Structure 1
């Protein structure tokens, strides 16, 4: 005598969820295939890429260290100045915009949306594009690079600051409001102690990123070590290129160490 097992069988996903997952995977595969077709990789260049890389490395060795004191050092210091001043300028502009974007600070929807539009516009334009724009306005040099770094960083700093403010606990703020504290006191005594660790972390992290981004702005004439790198590459001075790349690598590593140590002491 046969009988059927009518016990329900557990399934992790419903039929609709499985179809949706399949559609997402299919779309991803189609996007990859479409992208590969449009990139149009030239096979001849791809096959001998390792040979070209080995030849380039041989041209770079040994690095021309005598070139560093005369040219590279000054350009490297200028790069650090661009990153530092650009970060300070970005933070000074991002703080009011970030507060405007936080709906618990400014409960006016049109102001929130306008501030968020500024933050999105800042993040959507690459630092090299900002640099091209400001080189056209201010001419080539460190000023254009500094302002480009600042405008690129506003969106990053302002967005994270607004999120930190919105996530702050309302308890201290309500207590201050109950005793009649004015609006500036709510910011300084209610919100600032809560967002201070996030603020310093965001500012330091952005400076670390800006040190990296400042290193390439010179490729479009915005000053710094990138200008020296572009010149050396245009004249095929590969031993000097190696010196510049080593200097950039060391500065990036040192910036990472400095940021880590400062965060340990401040946060």
Structure 2
């Protein structure tokens, strides 16, 4: 730390004068960049609408309350579809992510030069594209319906599960692997008896956590035609039936809360 002297008495300072000027210049550049970015983002903003937003929001809330509870009977089947999309999509993601994770992990991949880069590319591609974008593409390819939603959730889940799982594989205790190899076990036996038991709790926790996330994501896939309760939400929004939208929001919120509770209980029991 720099020390200055005043009347032969050393005085501690956090930074030198040059460092202080550099810090001030950095903060000034950050403020200038923030102002510039704000101007770019609000260049086409109609400020009259922004000023009128509180009144419009109040008017919308007046029309959305009280909820139309009679509409609830029409939501059970779409809600069941949403749960199926999340569950089957998670299973599809697991089926693909597990072998991809073993190919991506340095200590289990058959080829660091070929197999591992391909596996990492699959993981990155899956994580880079949102499930809503996957659903848009799949609806255009295979048509609207639950199948598009299931595949979209599955493709999105591959990257999440694969990345966390291959990192867990790379962090295993290698001494257990060496002990099993010393018995003359084949490669598949080493995986079964030395690697899988170590990563099984982590794998179960990752899978349940991803299922919990997928319930939330599958609730909106119907907005692009991929089935589930999002179809009802899109219909109600199109008809400006705000009291029905309120009921749908309450159902989605309750479903997410229950899934969060179930996920926490299952992870707690496993881990």
Query: Does the pair score TM above 0.5?
Result: yes
1:1-267 alignment runs, 5 A limit: 4-5=8-9, 11=14, 19=22, 28-40=30-42, 41-69=45-73, 71-106=74-109, 107-267=111-271
- Residues 233 and 164 (structure 1 numbering): CA distance in 2 closer, same or farther, change over 3 Å? same
1:25 Cα deviation from its structure 2 partner? 5.1
Q: Which runs of no fewer than 5 residues in structure 2 stay unpaired? A: 1-5
- Residues 14 and 258 (structure 1 numbering): CA distance in 2 closer, same or farther, change over 3 Å? farther
What's the TM-score, normalizing by structure 1? Answer: 0.90
Deviates more, 1:183-192 or 1:215-224: 183-192
Residue by residue, what CA displacement relative to the aligned partner does 1:46-101 show, whole Å, maximum 9, x if unpaired? 222222111111101111111111x2111111000000000000011000111111
Structure 2 distance, partners of 1:17, 1:171, is: 51
- For the aligned residues, what is the CA RMSD? 2.4
- Residues 188 and 28 (structure 1 numbering): CA distance in 2 closer, same or farther, change over 3 Å? farther
1:13 Cα deviation from its structure 2 partner? 9.4
Alpha-carbon contact 1:90-1:151 (below 8 Å) kept: yes
Structure 2 distance, partners of 1:16, 1:118, is: 45
1:37 Cα deviation from its structure 2 partner? 1.9
Count, aligned residues: 263
SS at match of 2:69: coil
Alpha-carbon contact 1:201-1:263 (below 8 Å) kept: yes
Q: Which runs of no fewer than 5 residues in structure 1 stay unpaired? A: none
Structure 1 distance, partners of 2:244, 2:120, is: 44
Alpha-carbon contact 1:103-1:109 (below 8 Å) kept: no
